[in-house]
Amino acid sequence: MVIRTCNRDVEAYITKDGSSIRELIHPLVHGNTAQSLAEATVPAGSSTLLHIHNLSEEIYHVISGTGLLTLGDEDIIVQTGDSICIPPKTPHNIKNTGRCELRILCCCSPAYSHNDTQILE
């Protein structure tokens, strides 16, 4: 099975952590089975809420911008081209420290679900 989407037509929505997400590939929409891929946007000067995913492993790949990623007890400076793996049950959030929007590709396995997101603040 080949899944192809026209990403220009994907509408954004706000997730529980406060980021604006465009689901590029998701099982509930596209019929794939094991993961999701989304583009997250965090405006300059803002951040997502500290949260965990109980089941999903998440990979962030920074498309553009700079930020400060809290990952467990660490604070990590991230910038365009960086990739970070976030294990399940690891508290995390990201703050946009730049002057333009921070754009991140987010891959979740299993696929992203509001029910798997627990806000910690």
Mean of the pLDDT values across residues 47-60?
A: 96
Closest to 71 (Cα-Cα) out of 79, 59, 62: 59
Q: Is the pLDDT of residue 105 over 80?
A: yes
| Rounded distance between C-alpha atoms, residue 57 and residue 65, angstroms | 23
Closest to 106 (Cα-Cα) out of 92, 120, 121: 92
> What percent of the chain has a predicted confidence (pLDDT) above 90?
68
pLDDT band (50, 70, 90) for residue 7 = low
pLDDT band (50, 70, 90) for residue 28 = confident
Q: How many CB atoms lie within 10 A of CB 112?
A: 24
Angle (CA) 49-106-98 rounded to 5° is 60
> Which pLDDT score, from 0 to 100, does residue 101 have?
95
Q: What is the pTM of this model?
A: 0.86
CATH fold label, 11-119: Jelly Rolls (2.60.120)
Q: What is the DSSP string of 75-95?
A: EEEEETT-EEEE-TT--EEEE
> Which pLDDT score, from 0 to 100, does residue 9 have?
66
Angle (CA) 10-95-102 rounded to 5° is 40
